[in-house]
Amino acid sequence: MGKAKQCFVYNTKIIETPTTKEVYFYETPIYSHSNSDSKTSNTQAHKRKVFDEMSAHKQYDSLKRKQKHYEQTRWEIARIVDCNFDNKTKFLTLTFRENIQDITITNKEFKYFIQRLNYYLYQTKVQTLKYIATWEKQKRGAIHYHVIFFDFPFVAKEKLQDLWTHGFIKINRIDVDSM
């Protein structure tokens, strides 16, 4: 005998963080099933079209979905920061001296930096640092990183520079009013 499927129905969603309470009301009820087996997809039968192959209307819809996705992601990141923020939260920028534009290379170097920093702080290879990070390109095309560290102990800027070795670093305390 299989598991019974549970169905949850709601028309209100509340997201609460230490500083914010968001309330969403839906005109039509939202149905949520606890059994994920119902979400099987046949990728062979339904193949995605490349953006350039879509009609103008489909391209517009695709861009609207993408915009909504980025807005939701921005809110999710803000919630993560809000839930983990304390007086030891720091903002770090890491740049590359060389004009490296290959994300696989920069991600590898960033990963090694995090491992070295984690080992320096906690003397363990077990990932203990709590952070959220993103990369972006400078005007010259070089990739650089922005990192928010949570519950981050004091580390001298010179030590961070020794651990990074690839270019410029800048570390700041995050002001509550700037969030």
Domains defined for the chain, CATH in brackets: 8-35 (no CATH), 90-178 (3.30.70.1910)
At 139 the pLDDT is 92
- Per DSSP, 34 falls in state S
Checking if the pLDDT of 126 tops 80, the result is yes
Q: Please, which pLDDT band fits residue 33 given cuts at 50, 70 and 90?
A: confident
CA–CA separation, 121 vs 168, rounded Å? Answer: 21
- What is the average per-residue pLDDT within 13-22? 86
- Per DSSP, 30 falls in state E
CA–CA separation, 46 vs 63, rounded Å? Answer: 20
- Give, rounded to a whole angstrom, the gap between the first and last alpha carbons of the chain: 51
At 175 the pLDDT is 74
pLDDT one-digit tens code per residue, 95-113: 999 999 999 999 999 999 9
- What is the average per-residue pLDDT within 69-91? 91
pLDDT one-digit tens code per residue, 130-177: 999 999 999 999 999 999 999 999 999 999 999 999 999 999 988 766
At 38 the pLDDT is 46
Instruction: Point out which residues pair with 42 in neighbouring strands.
Output: none
At 18 the pLDDT is 85
If you average pLDDT over every residue of the chain, what do you get?
88
Q: What token pair was written down for 126?
A: 């077990």
Provide the CB-side half-sphere exposure for 14 (13 A, CA).
2
Provide the CB-side half-sphere exposure for 79 (13 A, CA).
12
At 47 the pLDDT is 78
